Structure 1
Amino acid sequence: MSETGEEFDLLAIETLKSRYLQEGEKDWEDVCKRVAKAIALNRGEYTEFLDIILSKAFIPSSPTLMNAGTPSGQLSACFVIPVEDGIEKIFDSVKTAALIQKTGGGTGFNFSKIRPDGSVTVSGVGTASGPVALMRLFNEATEIVKHFGKRRGANMGILDISHNDIISFIRAKRTEGVLSNFNISVMLTDSFMSLADEGRMDEVWNTETGTKIGEIFSEIVEGIWRNGEPGVLFYDHINRDNFTPALGDISATNPCGEEPLLPFESCNLGSINLSILVEEGKVNRDSLREAVRKAVRFLDNEIDVNVYPVPEIEKATKKTRKIGLGVMGFHDMLLKLGLPYDSEEALRLAEKLMGQINRAAIRESEKLAAEKGPFPEYENSIWEFPVRNATLTAIAPTGTISILAGCSAGIEPVFSWVYRLSLIHISEPTRQ
């Protein structure tokens, strides 16, 4: 396979050249061979992995495409790094984030343990700057690190709804260009949402600041209306679906929010191209199941061949062996099937397909557990039978790999049939 117009459009060719081709590589086939060789444990797996990636039926996330088979060897897309109070611990987190981002990984942080702006510092000397000020520090570190890699760094900044600085956090991105390397999200609770749902907007939520429920809720809504920031996360819902509650509560996600993780956990992502599975006016379910089987094995292998930025990440990741298998090309699939994106038929099909993907992923993880053993913390999980991976699916945005696949991104609709997209080149000016 070569970089011909039949295989790649101009945007895909430029993306391939600027981000993924290593020295000596000339086309997509070379990238696929390097990646398959690095992840496969035997010849049979190499053939399967090469076939599924080369055909674009499944594509792993950008860090894997960039780093597999290279000295870097860092394959994971998603990380959650804890941020503890105190100057040394804060800068430890900055350092860890920098090591992750220089190899293409994205980092999520919950800043709720940072004491509010103006409070006494840990040392008792001076006053604290608060979470928003510290986010600027992390943002600038990301800005610097981006010049050392092929992929722009990305962060998720999270603050609990009960934090004293929640209003300033909600407003943190009102000005365009501020915290440009961050997505931000408020971590909501069932208790807050219940009170808001009951219309108790005049009730004081935070007795220390006197902030009312209605004030916080209105600020969130206005921010979302203005520019989509902040997003919202639901703490209780996330932890009701926590497969390893004995290891602690989950309080943060990766930058795009699809992968809730425990402190220091990482996750490998990859996506199945639904569009390519449409044959004669219907989705080939056998091909879908086979793609899931190969993809789960690929993503699980990555956990063992991965080169981790710091030992804490390797330890946490291998305890639970989480993977995130998702989809892309959903809208393209619907177009081929003649289904409107906003139709009831499309919703029903989405539910059926993801049910099938989930079941097939569980079956393959169960087989892997029989072959190699379940994830080490299986006994402390809510799984009722042994599986290799604590979690299996996550729907990523696939903003870049969908360009390579030539399909619509993730489960999103095509935003426009004609648009201009800027390609960011680290070592040269932005081109359009």
Structure 2
Amino acid sequence: MQTETNPTGTTQNVPAGTEQASVSGNIAATAPGHLRVIKRNGTVVPFEESKISVAITKAFLAVEGGTAAASSRIHETVAKLTEQVTATFKRRMPSGGTVHIEDIQDQVELALMRAGEHKIARDYVIYREEQSRKRAAKQALSPATQEAANGINVIQADGSRAPLDIERLHTIVSEACDGLTDVSETRILDEALKNLYDGVTAEELSTSLVITARTLIEQEPNYSYAAARLLCDNLRSEALNFLGVAENATQADMGSLYTEALAAYIEKGVALELLAPELADYDLAELGAALDPARDLQFTYLGLQTLYDRYFIHSDEVRFELPQVFFMRVAMGLAAREDNPNARAIEFYRQLSSFDYMSSTPTLFNAGTLRPQLSSCYLTTVPDDLSGIYGAIHDNAMLSKFAGGLGNDWTPVRALGAYIKGTNGKSQGVVPFLKVVNDTAVAVNQGGKRKGAVCAYLESWHMDIEEFVELRKNTGDDRRRTHDMNTANWIPDLFMKRVFDDGEWTLFSPNDVPDLHDLYGKEFQERYEHYEAQTRSGELKLFKRVQAANLWRKMLGMLFETGHPWMTFKDPCNLRSPQQHAGVVHSSNLCTEITLNTKSNEEIAVCNLGSINLPQHIGENGLDLDKLRNTVRTAVRMLDNVIDINYYSVGTAEQSNMRHRPVGLGLMGFQDALYKQHLAYGSEQAVEFADRSMEAISYYAIEASSELAAERGRYSSYEGSLWSQGILPIDSLDILEEHRGSEYIQLNKEQTLDWPALRELVAQRGMRNSNVMAIAPTATIANITGVSQSIEPTYQNLYVKSNLSGEFTVVNPYLVNDLKERGLWDGVMVNDLKYYDGSVQAIDRIPADLKAIYATAFEVEPRWLVDAASRRQKWIDQAQSLNLYINNASGKKLDITYRMAWYSGLKTTYYLRSLAATGTEKSTIDTGALNAVSNNSEPQPAPVPQACSLDDPDCEACQ
């Protein structure tokens, strides 16, 4: 006897060799008249009527069961159906003949439908397809591979040995390739099985499939989806076995298993003290039914591997959180305090799992856990006293422990040589303390999940500024160097004016000029000039006078040499801040997109981030405003919930967050959105799209926060804000222009939406959040969703990305698809892209229009990056992480680019990415190896901080 599976998945015994008796339709039966059946293997067997009866009976029993009540009906129905099928062939061939087994299956199926047995017929059809896929398993393999597979035994997790299940293997690979163009399941199976041997482990078998698909990504981007689906099979096996739900489930099985898996996951997670107990209070059946297994299929390999390695809940290194369960866990965590948590959790789940919007990494890490530290960024001001300094370093450690990125304002700390009244001595300045901050970030990291990341800010008038800009140098006294942290200049407008006018600049110690720290705009200029007069009159003794242009050149030189300090601008951050009445913006954050008030010992600013996936909102006619509005509304609600749910490891952070309730809604995939519209990044159309898309996000985000204010109340420090005065971010451009002077700024103030109506709405309802927008780097969550990060241009069209999850081949699928349409995608093109480091510019057969669209980051003139950023900045109440890419960088190019950034009204800039003049090692271009794209032609300069990687400038610290 042999076992065979019936339509419901249970097994049954059938006589060996009697393929025709199975319920899959392998029915051979034969009656008088010498009818015979041709089997699929070509052999001919007698037609036996009883076999039809047995097979149909088994089909009924599988669906309806074998109760006494059903038994009589089944017997009578089967007899009639068997007679009908047999009579059909007798009429066709009264003198006998041969009939193919498929014809018998068709007649059984038809008889079931005519009899009204639709459920039986449906399961019968499904099972026929399943058996057909199994039969295709061997046919999909080459003869040599089939022979090799016959001798392979696999060692299971429990140590037992079993023959290689080629049918299941084919099912998994077939599912992985389903719906993907130019992907061959035969190729994956053949290549994978070549590397197997007798005694291979089940884990090695699965890994072989994944790696095989991985190696093909550079030739066809769709293999990235296939590799992800094969990885998902590994994850299903790992998670479902741990949860006791099922073994060896396929993707098709998840339609029924996900609901059970969610309930088992919550129970297990709570028992292991990894999940918050209140998650068990949800209606898990309702939430489980909302899980959509088809959304497992939208991951790229990099995206799913990133989730697997770094996000999924695990116990003793066993990941027992499935992809859709992961998104539901985050959604449940964010909906916990809603009036209708079940409905809101489903709403949040649908948005996250569709990739229309993605929460930031801390939210994905910690939502629904016992310590829900969901916020992304923390900004602090360090006071000028020893206990306050070490208190600030302690706060850094606690905030970093729970995955927070840090921005520290060090301007109040007195300079080197300044008098210390308490000891009658002289200060050692800021630098020695920054060395302690650097080492603290390394020691604590971010909860063991990501490397610690902190950025120190110093205003450009501080007497330690010249030593501060050298902190990242590889030469000099290592005790006065910080190799692992970021630094940023906090530059007043007055300094930039002096640079433009080739004037002098005076450096002070902040204990002599304490009010400069809190002043900006005209008030700063007036007071600064007053202190300069005191240096000339002799009232101020400790100062240093330099040429502003010389200090500027030193800043640019260190930026080029070490990548730091970044250029950020104090006055636009403050003059355009909605919260001018409540305090001063003293710095930005780790990634330069957050501009919130801070105050020593009183307020640690907190920002809660998430990003709209812009290409998900591009339709045939461009930006889909209706969809975007709905996405933004739900996203702002989720972000506002973070504030109330968040775990605060430092009390002053909680007080500040509750008082002002800032959030930072951003975007990612800007480059993908351009690709979908066939727009070149370096074009006026792209700049215009940057303007229009950010205008829409700004409009809908403000509208959503105002709607929440009507529902939940205004944030407590609302009165006196720019919002309360009817001044929206677009209106605050006038304030900046008035303070700076029109000769020092060039702005575009065009608008297309109904802003007067929105001002009226805000006037009536107020705002729930003091700040609502900020564009973060999004490197990690962009990896998860499979789009380009943030507002970045494409780094290269083919390269190897390295991050904490390993190395991943990345190939631009939009380029590949366009080349396919023109018949240009082949092995030679792959080789050319490797040779030219992912650039299309030197490949003659690529048309000019595609060369423009697929220009890489270093092939786009920096002015286009600045122009697009300037158009976005006019709509944003905070800032944006803006990397600047400069090919063949020179002092002149840097000078022009950064002057232009300030002149265009930008609040901040982020990394400078400059390309080295050295070439690329070509020795691996024919190997097809995963790391065949050499990284010798990487963005320079080095070293880049631990939060980032040179081979692909993706900072993962914020998102």
Same fold at TM > 0.5: yes
Task: State the alpha-carbon separation in 2 of the partners of residues 387 and 191 from structure 1.
Answer: 33
| 1:414 aligns to 2:794 (yes or no) | yes
Unaligned ranges ≥5, structure 2: 1-175, 177-227, 231-296, 508-534, 536-542, 599-603, 725-762, 807-948, 952-959
| 1:182 aligns to 2:407 (yes or no) | no
TM-aligned CA deviation for residue 88 of structure 1: 1.3
What is the TM-score when the length of structure 2 is the normalising length? 0.43
Q: Which digits, 9 at most, give the CA deviation of each residue in 1:124-151, with x for residues without a partner? A: 2554332122111111001011274202
* Partner of residue 4, structure 1: 229
Task: State the alpha-carbon separation in 2 of the partners of residues 405 and 251 from structure 1.
Answer: 34
> What amino acid sits opposite 1:323 in the alignment?
V
Q: Equivalent of 2:686, from 308, 326, 346?
A: 346
| 1:231 aligns to 2:456 (yes or no) | no
* Partner of residue 326, structure 1: 666
Question: Highest CA radius of gyration, 1 or 2?
Answer: 2
Between stretches 204-213 and 259-268, larger displacement belongs to: 204-213
Alignment of 1:380-399 (within 5 A): 380-384=720-724, 385=763, 386-399=766-779
Q: Equivalent of 2:329, from 34, 41, 57?
A: 34
Task: State the alpha-carbon separation in 2 of the partners of residues 353 and 102 from structure 1.
Answer: 36
Task: State the alpha-carbon separation in 2 of the partners of residues 424 and 141 from structure 1.
Answer: 21
> What amino acid sits opposite 2:700 in the alignment?
A
- What's the secondary structure of 1:167's corresponding residue? helix
TM-aligned CA deviation for residue 204 of structure 1: 4.4
| 1:193 aligns to 2:496 (yes or no) | yes
Distance 1:134 1:56, change over 3 A: same
Task: State the alpha-carbon separation in 1 of the partners of residues 421 and 611 from structure 2.
Answer: 44
Alignment of 1:116-135 (within 5 A): 116-121=415-420, 123-124=422-423, 126-135=425-434
8 Å Cα contact 2:495-2:505 kept in structure 1: no
Task: State the alpha-carbon separation in 2 of the partners of residues 331 and 425 from structure 1.
Answer: 24
Between stretches 4-13 and 330-339, larger displacement belongs to: 4-13
TM-aligned CA deviation for residue 289 of structure 1: 1.1
Alignment of 1:131-150 (within 5 A): 131-146=430-445, 148-150=447-449
Q: Equivalent of 1:310, from 616, 635, 650?
A: 650
What is the TM-score when the length of structure 1 is the normalising length? 0.93
Distance 1:46 1:122, change over 3 A: farther
Task: State the alpha-carbon separation in 1 of the partners of residues 779 and 471 from structure 2.
Answer: 25
Q: Equivalent of 1:43, from 311, 321, 342?
A: 342
Q: Equivalent of 1:163, from 438, 462, 476?
A: 462
Task: State the alpha-carbon separation in 2 of the partners of residues 12 and 125 from structure 1.
Answer: 58
Task: State the alpha-carbon separation in 2 of the partners of residues 204 and 423 from structure 1.
Answer: 42
8 Å Cα contact 1:121-1:127 kept in structure 2: yes
TM-aligned CA deviation for residue 228 of structure 1: 3.0
Unaligned ranges ≥5, structure 1: none
* Partner of residue 715, structure 2: 375
| 1:266 aligns to 2:606 (yes or no) | yes
Task: State the alpha-carbon separation in 2 of the partners of residues 114 and 419 from structure 1.
Answer: 44
* Partner of residue 552, structure 2: 217
Q: Which digits, 9 at most, give the CA deviation of each residue in 1:201-226, with x for residues without a partner? A: xx242361233212211111212222
Task: State the alpha-carbon separation in 2 of the partners of residues 382 and 65 from structure 1.
Answer: 32
Q: Which digits, 9 at most, give the CA deviation of each residue in 1:284-307, with x for residues without a partner? A: 221111111110011001111111
8 Å Cα contact 1:15-1:423 kept in structure 2: no
Alignment of 1:72-87 (within 5 A): 72-87=371-386
- What's the secondary structure of 1:210's corresponding residue? strand
> What amino acid sits opposite 2:332 in the alignment?
K
Alignment of 1:287-306 (within 5 A): 287-306=627-646
Distance 1:219 1:258, change over 3 A: same
8 Å Cα contact 2:374-2:608 kept in structure 1: yes
8 Å Cα contact 2:446-2:452 kept in structure 1: no
* Partner of residue 205, structure 1: 506
Q: Which digits, 9 at most, give the CA deviation of each residue in 1:80-119, with x for residues without a partner? A: 1221122211111111111111111111111111111233
TM-aligned CA deviation for residue 356 of structure 1: 0.6
| 1:13 aligns to 2:304 (yes or no) | yes
Alpha-carbon RMSD: 2.1
8 Å Cα contact 2:367-2:374 kept in structure 1: yes
- What's the secondary structure of 2:461's corresponding residue? coil
Task: State the alpha-carbon separation in 1 of the partners of residues 470 and 673 from structure 2.
Answer: 38
TM-aligned CA deviation for residue 380 of structure 1: 2.8
> What amino acid sits opposite 2:792 in the alignment?
E
| 1:245 aligns to 2:540 (yes or no) | no
Between stretches 5-14 and 133-142, larger displacement belongs to: 5-14
Larger helix proportion, structure 1 or 2? 2
> What amino acid sits opposite 2:301 in the alignment?
L
Q: Which digits, 9 at most, give the CA deviation of each residue in 1:245-280, with x for residues without a partner? A: 122111111100101122201010000111122233
Alignment of 1:44-123 (within 5 A): 44-121=343-420, 123=422
Task: State the alpha-carbon separation in 1 of the partners of residues 451 and 799 from structure 2.
Answer: 21
Q: Which digits, 9 at most, give the CA deviation of each residue in 1:178-211, with x for residues without a partner? A: 53442211111121111111122xx242361233
> What amino acid sits opposite 1:188 in the alignment?
I
TM-aligned CA deviation for residue 399 of structure 1: 1.0
% identical equivalent positions:
32
Task: State the alpha-carbon separation in 1 of the partners of residues 330 and 580 from structure 2.
Answer: 34
Q: Tell me how many residue pairs correspond in the alignment.
A: 425
8 Å Cα contact 2:406-2:453 kept in structure 1: yes
Q: Which digits, 9 at most, give the CA deviation of each residue in 1:319-352, with x for residues without a partner? A: 1110000000010110111000111001101111
Between stretches 135-144 and 112-121, larger displacement belongs to: 112-121
Q: Equivalent of 1:403, from 774, 780, 783?
A: 783
